[in-house]
Amino acid sequence: MSGFVQHGPGEFCPVMTRPGELPIEPDGTNPTPAPDWPASGDCRNCGRWGVIYETPPLDPAQADLAERFARWFGGSLAWDLGVREPYAPLHKDLFDLHARVEVVVLAGNAGAAPVTAQQCRECGGDGWPCKTLRVMAEWHKGVPGWDERWSA
Ligand SMILES: [Zn+2]
Ligand SMILES: [Zn+2]
CA of 37 to the centre of ligand 1 (A): 18
**Per-residue pLDDT tens for 10-42?**
899 999 999 888 899 876 665 555 555 567 889
**Per-residue pLDDT tens for 71-121?**
999 999 999 999 999 999 999 999 999 999 999 887 667 778 898 999 999
Residue 105 · residue 67 · CB < 8 Å: no
CA of 120 to the centre of ligand 2 (A): 5
Question: What 3 state SS string does 103-144 have?
Answer: EEECCCCCCCCCEEEEEECCCECCCCCCHHHHHHHHCCCCCC
**Per-residue pLDDT tens for 38-72?**
678 899 999 999 988 988 999 999 999 999 999 99
CA of 57 to the centre of ligand 1 (A): 22
CA of 1 to the centre of ligand 1 (A): 16
